[in-house]
C-alpha cells in the first residue's frame, strides 16, 4: 500500500495539471476578445466624433458663406438705390426710390433737403448778430440754459474765428490740451471737440438739424424741422405747426406724393403762398428774407439695402441742378 500511494498521487496531479492546462488558453482568449471589443468601440467613438465635428464645421462654413453672400447682396441693393437717386429727374417723391428684386432683396431711398438744416459755418461767419440769434434761439428751444448757452456760443465763435490770441468773454483760454483751429468746421462731428458742447452732442439725434455743406446757406423752408422753424425771428409755435401740417400733407411726412404743392417761383426764392402759410406779413418776412430759401438743390440721400435679415446703408450729400440738367455733384459718400 505504501508503494501504491505515490503512483496514485502522481496520477491525480497529472489529471489536475492537464485540466488546468486546458482551461488557461480559454481564459486568455476571452480577455483578449473583451479588450478588442473595447478598442473597437473606442475607435468607433473617435470616428463618430470626427464625423460630427466635420459636419458641424461644414455647416458653420456654409452659414458664414451664406451670411457673407447676404451682406454683399444688401450692399449691392443699397448702392443700386443710391445710383437711382442720382438720376437727374428723380425727385424725393418718386416711386422708383423703392424697389424689390425677385429673390426678396429690397432697397428704400429717402431724399431730404440738406439746407433745411442749420449751416453752422454760415451762421457764425462774420458774427452777424441776426444769424447768431437764430442759432442761439435754436439752442434755447433745445432747452439749453442761459449760462451754458453763453459758453457754447462764445466757445464756438472762438473755434471758427480766424483771429488768434483773442477769445470771447465766455470762452475758455487756449491751453496745450485745448487749441481751437480758428477755421470753419470741417464736419458736424467737430462740435464734440468744442468746449461746452459735450452735453448736447451726447444726446441721440443731436446732429439732425446741423450741416456744414458749403452750398447750404439760407435755411430751406421746404425741409426745415419744427425746431429750426421755431428758431426763425417772428415764428410762433402755432404758425409753425399749421405750416408743417400743410407742407407735409395728410400723411404727415415730407417728401411724399401727398405733400402740398406751393406755387413755383424763380430759383430758390420763397413763394408768396409759403409766406402766407407761415402767417408772416410782408414786413415780417422781409426780416428773414435773406436767411431763407425754398427747395434748394442740395439733398441728403440715404439708401437702405436689405437681403433677408441683413441691412446695409449708404448716405450721400449731392447737388442736383433744377430741371434735371446735368449730372448731380456728389459732395460726400458714406457707408453706414
Cell of 311: 441691412
- pLDDT at position 167: 84
Give the mean pLDDT of the chain: 87
Listing from the earlier edge strand, what are the strands of the sheet with 106-113?
98-100, 106-113, 298-307, 310-319, 329-335
Q: Rounded CA gap, 128 and 291, in Å?
A: 11
- For the chain, the domains span 1-48, 77-117+297-336, 118-207, 216-295
Q: Rounded CA gap, 314 and 316, in Å?
A: 7
Q: Rounded CA gap, 233 and 137, in Å?
A: 9
Range list of H helices, the chain: 5-85, 120-124, 129-141, 146-160, 198-201, 226-230, 237-248, 272-277, 282-288
The CATH fold assigned to 118-207 is Ribonucleotide Reductase Protein R1; domain 1 (1.10.40)
**pLDDT band per the 50, 70, 90 thresholds, residue 1:** very low
Rounded average pLDDT over 163-190 = 92
Residue 324 reports pLDDT greater than 50: yes
For strand 98-100 and strand 106-113, is the pairing parallel, antiparallel, or unpaired?
A: antiparallel
> Based on the number of CB atoms within 10 Å of its own CB, is 128 exposed (0-12), middle (13-18) or buried (19 or more)?
middle
Q: What is the pLDDT of residues 238-283, one digit of tens each?
A: 999 999 999 999 999 999 999 999 987 777 789 999 999 999 888 8
**pLDDT band per the 50, 70, 90 thresholds, residue 14:** low
Amino acid at each position: 500500500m505504501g508503494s501504491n500511494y505515490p503512483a496514485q498521487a502522481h496520477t491525480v496531479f497529472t489529471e489536475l495539471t492537464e485540466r488546468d492546462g486546458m482551461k488557461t488558453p480559454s481564459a486568455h482568449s476571452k480577455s483578449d476578445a473583451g479588450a478588442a471589443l473595447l478598442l473597437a468601440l473606442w475607435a468607433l467613438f473617435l470616428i463618430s466624433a470626427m464625423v460630427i465635428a466635420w459636419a458641424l464645421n461644414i455647416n458653420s462654413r456654409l452659414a458664414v458663406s451664406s451670411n457673407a453672400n447676404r451682406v454683399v447682396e444688401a450692399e449691392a441693393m443699397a448702392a443700386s438705390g443710391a445710383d437711382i437717386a442720382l438720376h437727374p429727374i428723380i425727385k424725393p417723391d418718386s416711386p422708383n426710390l423703392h424697389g424689390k428684386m425677385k429673390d426678396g432683396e429690397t432697397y428704400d431711398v429717402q431724399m431730404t433737403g440738406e439746407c433745411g438744416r442749420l449751416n453752422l459755418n454760415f451762421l457764425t461767419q462774420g458774427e452777424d448778430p441776426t444769424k447768431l440769434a437764430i442759432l442761439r434761439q435754436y439752442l434755447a428751444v433745445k432747452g439749453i440754459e442761459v449760462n451754458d448757452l453763453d459758453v457754447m456760443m462764445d466757445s464756438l465763435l472762438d473755434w471758427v474765428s480766424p483771429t488768434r490770441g483773442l477769445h470771447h468773454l465766455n470762452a475758455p483760454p487756449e491751453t496745450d490740451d485745448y487749441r481751437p483751429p480758428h477755421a470753419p468746421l470741417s464736419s458736424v462731428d467737430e462740435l464734440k471737440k468744442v468746449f461746452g458742447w459735450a452735453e448736447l452732442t451726447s444726446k441721440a439725434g443731436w446732429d439732425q438739424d446741423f450741416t456744414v455743406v458749403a452750398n447750404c446757406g439760407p435755411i430751406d423752408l421746404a425741409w426745415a424741422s419744427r425746431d429750426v422753424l421755431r428758431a426763425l425771428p417772428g415764428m410762433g409755435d402755432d404758425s409753425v405747426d399749421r405750416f408743417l401740417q400743410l407742407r407735409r400733407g395728410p400723411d404727415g411726412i415730407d417728401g411724399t406724393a401727398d405733400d402740398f404743392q406751393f406755387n413755383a417761383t424763380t430759383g430758390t426764392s420763397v413763394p408768396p403762398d409759403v409766406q402766407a402759410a407761415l402767417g408772416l406779413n410782408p414786413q415780417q418776412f422781409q426780416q428773414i428774407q435773406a436767411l431763407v430759401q425754398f427747395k434748394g438743390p442740395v439733398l441728403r440721400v440715404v439708401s437702405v439695402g436689405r437681403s433677408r435679415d441683413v441691412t446695409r446703408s449708404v448716405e450721400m450729400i449731392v447737388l442736383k441742378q433744377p430741371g434735371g440738367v446735368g449730372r448731380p455733384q456728389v459732395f460726400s459718400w458714406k457707408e453706414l
